[in-house]
Structures are given as C-alpha cells and as structure tokens.
Structure 1
C-alpha cells in the first residue's frame, strides 16, 4: 500500500484531544496535524519523537498534514494510522500473500455478521469453507522484540473474538489476523496485564477453533506492505 503523497519528516510537539497533534516541520514551522489513532499510543506519543506526516492540498480538509509514522531511536518505524491495516491486509489477500488464506476466489470487505457487527473480510470460493477474517492493528512493544495486543482495554475487541468463535462453531473458518505495524518486533503475545478480559477471550476463541495469525510489515516513507508471518504466543492467560 503506497501513500498518496510521500511522507515528510517532522517532530512531535504534543498529541492531545485524541485526534490532534502539534508538530514542527524540518524548516522550523510549527503547525497542527491530524492524529488518526484514538488509542493510548503507549510509547509513541512522547514530545520530541521524530515522526513522518503526509501533506495534502485538499481544500476540504482543515488540517494540511496527517501523522502516519513514529520513528524509534534505532531508526525503526511504527505506523500509528489505525485506518491502514485493512488496506494493507486487503491488498495482501488479493495478491495471495497471506499463505493461510490463499486459494479463495472472492474477497469481500465489511460484511454484516454476528451481533450488529461487520467482519473485516469474508473470503469464499472453491471447495474451501468460508473464512471470516478480523484484522487487529498492533503497535505496542514494551519488552525486546515482543509485540503486544491490546495497548488498552478493548471490549469491542473481545466481542469480535466471541463472534469469531460463533462462526467457528457454525462450521466456518474464523481467523483473527494481527498486523504488527512496527518493524522492531518478531513475535506477538497478549498484554494480559492491560486487558485481562481480552486475554481470556483470546484463549476461549482459540480453544473454540479460531485461527490466530500474525504478520509483520515493511514500512517506509513511501508505503506499508505485508511482510513475514510471526509466531503468536498461545499459552493460557490467567485472569485471577
């Protein structure tokens, strides 16, 4: 997935109001940028963080810059835009890059299912059972090369796991695909200390037959692309 406009480097001054941030461009100009991430963004929003923003000249947009990447001290990149994982995974599904989901002839996005929900992708076709695929954006890292999910309490995320478990019980394939949008992680585990209920829902969904996949990404100022499959830690998470 290529950015519509190549990104430019800036420095984060502060992030506030969930969707707004103050930034400083390389020429010293201070301006405001849209922050496309309402989550906690743990470890990615400190003042002085080098970031990459996408400029736009759309007269309908109040803000002329959109924050896309945070740059880590070692030069690794993290994509903070929560709107992009589905685009990255959608392109990868179309090109057959997700090995576990290759061979399907039809890929549909935002298909109603469950309880007033829409599954990110429903893939079908051929002799294979329909596969319901949810995508989760992973940006948290607190220890070595471990990516962790979630970075805050997510009741909605737990609901998605329960709905996938229902699909598995009905005889369909049900897949939770975690997309690690940072280039410094090589494996994934649940952040059970941040959201014990989600970790418990993860365990229950896995036991019900939901497939837990994880993929890394290649990230640059030009775009984001699916990378290698990463291992998922699958041991039970205590909630007591």
Structure 2
C-alpha cells in the first residue's frame, strides 16, 4: 500500500479529544492533525517523537493533515516505525490476500469485505469452491511492552471479545475462522493476548483456539525512499504466544 501523498515529518506535541493531535512540522509550523485511532494508543502516543503526516488539499476536509506514523525509540538506540492509522490495516491485509502472500490463506477463494454474520461484522469472507468459506477478522497490533512482545488489545475490548465468540461460532458450524494480527510496529517480533490489560479477552482467545479458531500474525514491512516512509506491505509470519502473561 502506498501512502496517498508524500508524508511530511514533524514532532508530536500532544494528542487530545481522541481525534486530534498537535504537531510541530520540521519547517516550524504548528498544525492540528486528524488522529485516525479511537483506542488508548498505549505506547504509541509519545510526545516528543517524530511523526509522519499525510497532507490533503481537499477543501471539504476540516483538517488538512492526517497522522499516519510515529517513530519510537528502541532499547538498542534505534527507532521503529509504528502505524497509528487503524484504518490502514484492512487495506494492507486485503492487498496481501489478493496477491496470495498469506500462505495459510492462499487459494481460499474470492474475497468479500465486511461479512455480516450472526449480528456481527467481520472484516473478510473468502468464498472457495464447493461452498467452502473462510472468515477473517483483522486486528492491528502496535503495543510493544517492556518485554519486547506485542500485545492486543491495548485496553479492555468487549468488541474484540465478541469477534472471538463470532469466529468460534463459525468454526463450530464447520467454517474456517481466522484471527489475523496485523503487526504495524517494526519493533515487535512476537504477539500475545494482553492478559495484563484485558484478562477476559486473553482467556477467550485461549479458549477459542481450542475450539478451532486459527490465529495468525504478520509483520508490516515499511518501505522507505531517502529516509521517508513511502508505503507499507504485509511481510513475514510472527509467532503467536497465547499463554504469555506480562503480569507474571
């Protein structure tokens, strides 16, 4: 996925009212950017870090800037890009599905977005031959904790738990049900449920795995040119560690 415009860098001053962020651009201007992330943004809302904004000249927009990425300091002294735009995850995964780059799902069938099932809505349905159906729910992971693992969710998520129950119900009916963690943080090398933040979600995930729900994790690969992020694609598989608990 290519970013819609050449991204512009600056420094994060603050995020507030959930949808707004103040940023000082490299040219000294202070702008208000749209923050396309309604979550807690635990560990990715770090004032003083470099951020990357997408500009827009659409006169219908209230804000001319969208916050896309943040560069986060790592223990080894380097920085890692992380996406704060939760709306990008589905597009990244959709491109990978269409190109057959997710080995476990290659050849699963024709892709349909936003599949409605049992009063819920999942991100994708893949319709194969002879009536075979695969349902896929995508979750973006950006929370990197002190142990170096990535965790989901970054706050209590009743909606996320309900998605797990929906997937388990589909698996019980004989469908293929897949939870796919889209890991949009370069510093994360493994994923676990965040039992220290949402123990109910973690317990539910562990249970539904035993009920036939498949759990996959894929890293995002950020593409750069002359030091500027230009695009992102779904990369290699990462391990999922359902039994890990940061609190222990």
TM-score (norm 1): 0.95
CA distance in 1, matches of 2:220, 2:21: 25
Out of 229, 242, 245, the position equivalent to 1:234 is 242
Output one character per residue of 1:7-38: Cα deviation in whole Å (capped at 9) or x when no partner. 11111111000000111010110110000011
Q: Is the 8 A contact 2:171 2:177 kept in 1?
A: yes
Take 1:111 and 1:123, find their aligned partners in 2: how far apart are those partners? Answer: 9
**Hey, what's the Cα distance between the residues in 2 that align with 1:32 and 1:234?**
39
SS in 1 for 2:79: coil
Secondary structure at the aligned position of 1:166 is classed as helix
Matched, 1:54 2:58: no
* Other-structure match for 1:204: 207
Distance 2:14 2:244 in 1: 38
Superposition misfits of 4+ residues, deviation over 6 angstroms: none
Deviations 1:47-97 (A, max 9, x none): 211100001101000111100001012221000101010000000000000
**1:46 & 1:7 partners in 2: Cα distance?**
19
Hey, what does 2:226 align to over in structure 1? none
CA distance in 1, matches of 2:47, 2:204: 35
Q: Does 2:101 match 1:93? A: no
Whole-angstrom CA distance in 1 between matches of 2:131 and 2:19: 41
> 2:185 touches 2:220 (CA, 8 Å); kept in 1?
yes
Per the alignment, residue 222 of structure 1 pairs with 230
Secondary structure in 2 matching 1:156: helix
For 2:132, the equivalent position in structure 1 comes to 129
Whole-angstrom distance in 1 between the partners of 2:243 and 2:146 = 18
Residue 114 of structure 1 deviates from its aligned partner by 2.0
Matches within 5 A, 1:1-240: 1-73=1-73, 74-115=78-119, 117-127=120-130, 129-220=132-223, 221-235=229-243
Q: Which runs of 5+ in 1 are unaligned?
A: none
RMSD across aligned C-alpha pairs, in angstroms? 1.5
Rounded Cα–Cα distance in structure 1 between residues aligned with 2:12 and 2:244: 38
Taking the aligned partners of 1:128 and 1:176, their CA distance within structure 2 comes to 21
Q: Is there any run of 5+ residues in structure 2 with no aligned partner, and where?
A: 224-228
CA contact (8 A) 2:205 2:242 kept: no
**TM-score, scaled relative to structure 2:** 0.92
Tell me if structure 2 keeps the 8 A contact 1:182–1:219: no
